[in-house]
Amino acid sequence: NAGVTQTPKFQVLKTGQSMTLQCAQDMNHEYMSWYRQDPGMGLRLIHYSVGAGITDQGEVPNGYNVSRSTTEDFPLRLLSAAPSQTSVYFCASSYFPSESSYNEQFFGPGTRLTVL
Amino acid sequence: GESVGLHLPTLSVQEGDNSIINCAYSNSASDYFIWYKQESGKGPQFIIDIRSNMDKRQGQRVTVLLNKTVKHLSLQIAATQPGDSAVYFCAESENSNSGYALNFGKGTSLLVTP
């Protein structure tokens, strides 16, 4: 299994440009989510999905869109990039939590985004 | 929103000693807690989790303790090794069965010295 993969690893954008950060997992996880991590900060939840066709907003959703057309993929779209969106973006996935098992969340390696 | 914070931003321990990383949370409705390890340039790695109906859970060389009375969570690492050097995050959620509304703390940097 490749686990959680993210592309690209690095990206530089100009203010106002749009782009899509890709995330894919091959573990058949129901749950997927996107976080951003800023220097000296913990991770902040942008959007999440509990299954194909279902998405919801996290703590910092403004400026980002998501969709979940398949179980495997959960792309994050920046509609009009702003310097405040310069950050490291992580995608994560997990099985549905249960009382008897660890709810291990798997994170991708991250995408480092710079908006000029 | 309510905050999840850490008592110490950095912790330095000698190889072989036990490490204790602390975390305070303020959301009394939190019922699920996770510890993550993040090495430089990598994504967070799950270490261990605990639900609010427990006060202790053990893994391999790690133990998580939960004190709901004072809203305090700790991660104990036994016989700390150089490979344990990383930033450790605690995270909490109100409903562990609803998926992902995880609230992360800012992190504690653990440095293991020889």
pLDDT of B97 > 80? The answer is no
Region B43-65 average pLDDT? 93
The pLDDT-based confidence of B32 (bands split at 50, 70, 90) is confident
What pLDDT is attached to residue A73?
98
For A73-98, what is each residue's pLDDT tens digit?
A: 999 999 999 999 999 999 999 887 66
Confidence (pLDDT) at B93: 82
Mean pLDDT of A11-33: 95
Of A4, A33, A106, the CB nearest to B100: A33
Q: Is residue B1 over pLDDT 80? A: no
Task: Let me know: does A74 contact A65? Beta carbons within 8 Å.
Answer: no
What is the predicted pLDDT for the residue at B9? Answer: 84
Q: Which of A42, A92, A105 sits opposite B106 (nearest CB)?
A: A42
d(CA A105, CA A33): 10
Residue pairs spanning A and B at CB distance below 8 A: 74
Give the model confidence (pLDDT) of B63-78 as tens digits. Answer: 999 999 999 999 999 9
Confidence of residue A99 (pLDDT cuts 50, 70, 90): low
Single-letter amino acid code for the residue at B17: D
Q: What is the mean pLDDT of residues A104-116?
A: 93
Among B43, B85, B107, CA closest to A9: B43
Mutate to test the interface with B, among A105, A106, A111, A112 (most CBs of B within 10 A): A105
Give the CA distances from residue B85 to residues A14, B12, B30, B40, in Å, rounded to whole numbers and listed in that order.
36, 9, 28, 10
- Of residues A113 and A58, more confidently modeled: A113
Residues of B in contact with A31 (CB under 8 A): 99-100
Mean pLDDT of B96-107: 70
The rounded distance, in Å, linking the Cα atoms of B46 and A109 is 13
Instruction: From chain B, pick out residues whose CB is under 8 angstroms from the CB of A104.
Output: 46, 49
- At residue B7, the pLDDT reads 47
Which CA distances in Å does B42 have to A50, A90, A112, B28?
24, 10, 11, 31
